[in-house]
Amino acid sequence: MTIRWRIFFGNPLAVAGLVVLVLLALAALFAPWLTPHSPTATRPLDMLQPPSPAHPLGTDDLGRDALSRLLHAGRTSLTLAIGVAAVAVGIGALLGGVAGYLGGRADGTISALVDTMLSIPALALAMVASAFLELTTLRLVLILGLVSWPTVARLVRAQVLSLKERDFVEAARATGAGHVRLLLRHLLPNAVTPVIVAGTLLVAYAVLIESALSFLGFGLPPPTATWGGMLNEAQLYYLEAPWLAVFPGLVITLAVAAINFMGDGLREATSGRTGEA
Amino acid sequence: MIRRLVSLVIASLVLLSGVTLAQERATVLSPQEPRTLLPHLDLLTLAHEVENLVFDCLYAVDAEGGYIPRLAGEVPTLENGGISEDGRTYTIRLRDDVSWQDGEPFTSDDVRFTWQVITDPDLPIPARTVWEDIQSIETPDPHTAVVSFAEPNVGFIGTAASDSCFILPGHALEGEDLVNSQLNRRPVGTGPYSLEEWASGSFIRLAKNPDYWGGEPAIDEIVVSFPGGSQAVRTSLQRGEGEVALHLTSADARFIDRLAGYELAQAPDHAWWQFWVNNQDPVLQERDVRAALAYALDKQTIADTVMGGLVQPQAAMLPAGHWAHNPDVPTYEFDPERARELLEQAGWVDTDGNGVRERDGEALRLEILNIAGEAERRQVVQIAQDQWRNVGFDVSIREIDAASFPPTMSEGEYQLAYGWFGENQEPVFNLWLGTNWQNYANEEALALLREVPATVDSEARGELVRRFQQMVADDVAMLPLAPRPILNAVSERLQGYGPTLSGSLWNAEEWTLR
Amino acid sequence: MLIYAARRLAGAIPRVLLISVILFLLVNLPPGGPADIYAADPSASPQAVERIRELWGLNDPLHVQYLRWFGNMLQGDWGMSYRERRPALDVVMGRLGNTLWLTGGALIVGLAFGFALGLAGAWTRSHLGRALAQATAVVGMSVPTFWSGTLVLLFFSVHLRWIPAGGMGSIGEPFSLTDLLWHLLAPALVLGSVYVSQWSRYIQAGLTGAMQNDYVRTARAKGRTRGELLMRHALPNVAIPLVTVLGLEMPRLVAGAMVTEVVFSWPGIGRLLTDALLGRDYPVVMGTLLVLAVLVIVANLVTDLLYGLLDPRVRYG
């Protein structure tokens, strides 16, 4: 299975998603050059100002420039989400691959674990872990990765199961390839495409779950800005400074929708439609 | 005949509907829900506020800061013989017209029972100060309690009028497992209102106690509602729902100013915000470094902005409203240049130009401990972080939950910590003699404090406390920021609302609705 | 059918066991623990804290603690809530019904509008219309509910005063069903709207697929109108994939409800979990998580059974 880029680029929504995402990523990357203000310098006397030419998105409750925080928050939120997707894909591909390849008891155990993990809302698990541990960005990535891998595992397992009996695998086995080699060199590479699709959608999911976590008050400590964290801070002022709540929410929606459009586009562009992810 | 009957029916219907219409209700909005309404088991101040509706104390503090009798018939003094000459014995004459909400009479046994509960080592009671110094409580008759201390103690009346003052029903709780008692959710008190319904996560409904010793309350029903956090309380106020809103943030104060139909009511309180400083931390044990922190912090701007301009910066350990406050301690006015000089002199120099000072290859690092979840705390801590960074500290913030804060502090696992602390009308100095989280080791200063409880003369006592404040400020043993007022919003409809040191709801029996 | 149900039920038991182990470790492994709440008391001596640790068996090995905890759970003893000082079982169960109202409301909203949009999407022949429906669907599921919920509150409750500001009933008023439904309206719409878009997509895809079936073609040849074909012949075919999707979506619906409860001050188990976590109320945290998991497992079971009912090819036995 390969991605047929012609189909992907023929899909206007997918392309729009890609463009928006690239723009968001560039804005986050070049944040320090795009805005003259520091995201952490406090100016209490200028707090809660409405949007103006000097501060296009207004200022927050510490007089910090909201635009500059929004752009810097993009760095954290996007990196974090990609990290989460990477961790989830890593664990999911490995466990799913092993389950599908070995079958039998290993499959039974891993599948039971996957089913179990899927029956507790990931958000609830992440809340518990974040509440009981002192959060750092790395820890948050690990926590969110550890609660999001089961969908990937399920997908990869199904993929490997269907590939296992194919001729080229049989051929490799006949030449005496070992289990590890078979799995890593022959089976997993052939499951890459659906995993890419699932991973893309996971990035969107991670943006949402991180912001929900921050919104509930279980996010990263200050002064680190994330989109969800900004929404959480804006909650208190939504009567007098609604703009503080509007823009981070808009950006979250925009980013998540863009990634979802891209993911859908990728899914269509792979020959087989994968139903699971 | 029939006509008469009809008019009778109509009359009674009018009467009935009149009765139901006349059901007056006051709604109190609270940002947090109490966990228990059994007094003494919980430090949460919002629980104390609601307990005030159901329970009574021996004494209360009035609007002028003076003591008034409640369950006690009079305030004991040296003059009326209530306090013995040596200051060790208090003879309390109780009212004889008080009964519990279940009909049982209130007696001196209840006072003794309350003391036994508060000092029971097997119970998780957070605050036992003064009560634990009591040697015995004798009950010669049902309406007299004689409280004896081993050492002279001036703190008793203040404590019996403070947060830990509510008298418990001995007859209902004797022999009960208090921690798991049903009375946690269905309290029985002597107060003006009794609990009718507690809908967890939503509201507590209380009905007036028609037999209240202080007279029948005017308002039939009080509902304490928990809309779900500060911003939800604001939304309710914006919609005009609620007669009183408890414990607003300073940010809310600005908002109330612009809101028709409500005004801000500040309840007096001897509490203040401060940075705890770990005086034994390798970096912070130098006075110059602590002084640099004090000079680099712009308290005035924080008070004017984040704290809504409702308070003035505080320099002494006790806030300006307290009778023993010392107005003459050094203030360390905002002066970042002076802070930089002090650090330079102490050998902390930024040699590599990265904005952070070093000495002997060691960077000038600080971590501020903070309790997660409160907007105003987050604001202050981030401003402090920014301002201390400006003079060359590398400052990070560690946020933990409220329950982990005290154990972290008591183990000394912190450098700076932001929080508030409250003193009684008669200060007991738990901050220094009890927890001493700041690891303050100036023996000369602490010796002054030990003299305080036995100094019966209030002039001399005040002098001791003021000298202590001077020494703490000279040593920069802590960084006081500003008083922490208790802010409530009260509707124009509600008459007779008068918060004092005794609480925001202490006189609910005097409220009327317009 | 009964045997099938019983087998499904039996299959869920190891899952519950595994969940209980995971939850127990998750809550008990991190440093700090239940006894720290009492250490929080400045006047509590280390001895007093130690006594509480001993009293609660917190010094026992982890597996002993787990077995004791799980044994007690099974007997309905979930421990006392540290915050509310009444049995954690009562605390959690007292909130469960409220969450069911909310998820139920959202489910109805999601399905009703989902079917409406899905049918409209399948009915229209316009390519643009379909693309538009798909785009709305994706954007719809990308909007965070805590954001849209806040905006709904700001606009409809604070500015227009059309809807209540939150909670399950008017303050202090006696319970009435209309009052409850009136308060349920906004949170159910906000939570349900996330799924409207997604479900309408499935419904539309299912309908479009079904319209290509032979028997539908036959019916069309008999002169049935497009509307009739959709309603009579294609719609029943959508049920099976939809039920599957509903089952898979349950954890996310419950997670969504947790967030929505916080926005709309709905006193359900999501808000309970948030409060219990902040207050370190361990028995309630454990109870809530277990109930959440069981909720999802039961939903999955129901899905399985419905699946069996709807699809005659699934054989019981």
Residue type, B137: I
In this prediction, residue A100 has a pLDDT band, given cuts at 50, 70 and 90, of: confident
Contact B130, B155 (CB under 8 A): yes
* Closest residue to A261, CB basis, from C138, C259, C300: C138
Measure the CA–CA gap between B303 and B298, rounded to whole angstroms.
9
Chain B residues lying within 8 Å of A45, measured CB to CB: 301, 304-305
B375/A47 CB distance under 8 A: no
For strand B416-422 and strand B365-371, is the pairing parallel, antiparallel, or unpaired? parallel
In this prediction, residue C74 has a pLDDT band, given cuts at 50, 70 and 90, of: confident
Tens-digit pLDDT profile for residues A26-83:
999 988 888 888 888 888 888 888 998 888 898 988 889 999 999 999 999 999 999 9
How distant is the Cα of B155 from the closest Cα of chain C, in angstroms? 17
Closest of B502, B499, B501 to residue B511, by C-alpha: B499
pLDDT the model gives residue C250: 81
pLDDT the model gives residue C32: 60
As a three-state string, the secondary structure of A118-175 is: HCCCHHHHHHHHHHHCCCCHHHHHHHHHHHHHHHHHHHHHHHHHHHHCCHHHHHHHHC
**Mean pLDDT value of segment B176-188:** 88
pLDDT at B17 over 50: no
Q: Between C165 and B395, where is the model more confident?
A: B395
Answer whether B150 touches A (CB < 8 Å).
no
The H or E element that residue A266 is part of is: helix A243-269
Tens-digit pLDDT profile for residues B408-427:
787 788 999 999 888 877 88
Measure the CA–CA gap between B215 and B217, rounded to whole angstroms.
6
A253/C143 CB distance under 8 A: yes
Chain C residues lying within 8 Å of A217, measured CB to CB: 274, 278
Prior bond to A223 cis, omega within 30?
yes
Measure the CA–CA gap between B384 and B370, rounded to whole angstroms.
12
Tens-digit pLDDT profile for residues B293-343:
999 999 999 999 888 888 999 999 999 988 899 999 999 999 999 999 999
Q: Which two tokens stand for residue B262?
A: 């409500």
Number of C-beta neighbours around residue B174 at 10 A: 12
As a three-state string, the secondary structure of chain C is: CHHHHHHHHHHHHHHHHHHHHHHHHHHHCCCCCCCHHHHCCCCCCHHHHHHHHHHCCCCCCHHHHHHHHHHHHHCCCCCECCCCCCEHHHHHHHHHHHHHHHHHHHHHHHHHHHHHHHHHHHHCCCHHHHHHHHHHHHHHHHCCHHHHHHHHHHHHHHHCCCCCCCCCCCCCCCCCHHHHHHHHHHHHHHHHHHHHHHHHHHHHHHHHHHHCCHHHHHHHHCCCCHHHHHHHHHHHHHHHHHHHHHHHHHHHHHHHHHHHHHHCCCCCHHHHHHHHHHCCCHHHHHHHHHHHHHHHHHHHHHHHHHHHHHCCCCCCC
In this prediction, residue B154 has a pLDDT band, given cuts at 50, 70 and 90, of: confident
- Report the alpha-carbon angle B11-B13-B16, nearest 5: 110
pLDDT at B85 over 50: yes
Measure the CA–CA gap between B238 and B287, rounded to whole angstroms.
48
Contacts of residue A2, defined as CB under 8 A and 6 or more positions apart, other chains included, come to A193, A270, A271
pLDDT the model gives residue C311: 66
Chain B residues lying within 8 Å of C82, measured CB to CB: 35
Measure the CA–CA gap between B462 and B458, rounded to whole angstroms.
6
Beta-bridge partners for B146: B91, B138
* Closest residue to C171, CB basis, from B41, B181, B241: B241
Closest of B226, B99, A143, B42 to residue C279, by C-alpha: B42
Measure the CA–CA gap between A59 and A63, rounded to whole angstroms.
5
pLDDT the model gives residue C314: 54
How distant is the Cα of A42 from the closest Cα of chain B, in angstroms? 6
Beta-bridge partners for B204: B198, B224
pLDDT the model gives residue B192: 97
Closest of B111, B106, B99, B59 to residue B210, by C-alpha: B99
**Mean pLDDT value of segment C28-51:** 60
Using a pLDDT cut of 90, give the percent of chain C over it: 17
What predicted TM-score, i.e. pTM, was given to this entire model? 0.84
- Share the mean pLDDT of chain B: 89
Measure the CA–CA gap between B93 and B71, rounded to whole angstroms.
9
The H or E element that residue B247 is part of is: strand B244-248
Residue type, C9: L
Q: Which two tokens stand for residue B351?
A: 């040699």
CB pairs under 8 A between B and C: 132
Measure the CA–CA gap between A71 and A28, rounded to whole angstroms.
5
Contacts of residue C248, defined as CB under 8 A and 6 or more positions apart, other chains included, come to none
Contacts of residue A38, defined as CB under 8 A and 6 or more positions apart, other chains included, come to A64, A65, A68
pLDDT the model gives residue B431: 79
Closest of C277, C85, C104 to residue B198, by C-alpha: C85
Measure the CA–CA gap between A112 and C47, rounded to whole angstroms.
44
* Closest residue to A236, CB basis, from B375, B386, B399: B375
Q: Which two tokens stand for residue A272?
A: 């087989």
**Using beta carbons and an 8 Å cutoff, which residues of A are at the interface with B?**
40-42, 44-45, 47, 61-63, 131, 134, 217, 221-223, 233, 235-240
Give just the sign of the alpha carbon dihedral B131, B133, B139, B143. Answer: negative
**Mean pLDDT value of segment B36-64:** 89
Contact C30, A133 (CB under 8 A): yes
Contact C83, C276 (CB under 8 A): yes
In this prediction, residue C44 has a pLDDT band, given cuts at 50, 70 and 90, of: low
Q: Within chain A, how many helices (H) and strands (E) appear?
A: 13, 0
Chain A residues lying within 8 Å of C289, measured CB to CB: 120, 124-125, 128
Is A213 strand, coil or helix?
helix
- DSSP for residue B135: E
- DSSP for residue B431: I
Query: In sequence order, what DSSP letters do the residues of B50-108 get, joined into one string?
Result: HHHHH---SEEE-TTS-EEESSBSS---TTTTSB-TTS-EEEEEBPSS-B-TTSPBP-H
Q: How distant is the alpha carbon of residue B67 from its chain centre?
A: 17
Measure the CA–CA gap between C169 and B431, rounded to whole angstroms.
44
pLDDT the model gives residue B16: 47
- Share the mean pLDDT of chain C: 81
pLDDT the model gives residue A275: 37
Number of C-beta neighbours around residue C1 at 10 A: 10
**Mean pLDDT value of segment B62-88:** 89
Measure the CA–CA gap between B440 and B437, rounded to whole angstroms.
8
In this prediction, residue B445 has a pLDDT band, given cuts at 50, 70 and 90, of: very high
Helix, strand, coil percentages (3-state) for chain B, rounded to 5, are 30, 20, 45
**Using beta carbons and an 8 Å cutoff, which residues of C are at the interface with A?**
14-15, 18-19, 22-23, 26-27, 30, 32, 131, 134-135, 138-139, 141-144, 146-148, 150-151, 154, 158, 251-252, 254-255, 258-259, 262, 273-274, 277-278, 285, 288-289, 292-293, 296-297, 300
How distant is the Cα of C11 from the closest Cα of chain A, in angstroms? 10
How distant is the Cα of A127 from the closest Cα of chain B, in angstroms? 13
Please report how many Cα atoms fall inside a 13 Å half-sphere around the Cα of residue C273, on the Cβ side: 34
**Mean pLDDT value of segment B28-33:** 90
pLDDT the model gives residue A187: 77
Gyration radius of chain A's alpha carbons: 22
Chain C residues lying within 8 Å of B127, measured CB to CB: 41, 43
The H or E element that residue B189 is part of is: none
**Mean pLDDT value of segment A252-269:** 89
Number of C-beta neighbours around residue B270 at 10 A: 22
Using a pLDDT cut of 90, give the percent of chain A over it: 33
Contact B411, B364 (CB under 8 A): no
B238/A239 CB distance under 8 A: yes
Closest of B413, B474, B422 to residue B274, by C-alpha: B422
Measure the CA–CA gap between A46 and A59, rounded to whole angstroms.
7
Nearest CA in chain B to A237: B231
Measure the CA–CA gap between C312 and A217, rounded to whole angstroms.
48
Query: In sequence order, what DSSP letters do the residues of B448-499 get, joined into one string?
Result: HHHHGGG---HHHHHHHHHHHHHHHHHHT-EEEEEE--EEEEEETTEES---
C296/A120 CB distance under 8 A: yes
Chain A residues lying within 8 Å of C141, measured CB to CB: 260
**Mean pLDDT value of segment B440-445:** 92
Measure the CA–CA gap between C153 and B242, rounded to whole angstroms.
18
Query: C76: exposed, middle or buried (C-beta count within 10 Å: 0-12, 13-18, 19+)?
Result: exposed
Using a pLDDT cut of 70, give the percent of chain C over it: 88
Closest of C114, C307, C115 to residue C194, by C-alpha: C114
CA distances from C295 to A145, B50, C231 (A): 24, 35, 32
Beta-bridge partners for B395: B366
Nearest CA in chain B to A236: B231
Number of C-beta neighbours around residue B363 at 10 A: 16
Query: In sequence order, what DSSP letters do the residues of B299-355 get, joined into one string?
Result: HHHHHHTTTTT-S----SSS-TTSTT--TTS----S-HHHHHHHHHHTT-B-SSSSS
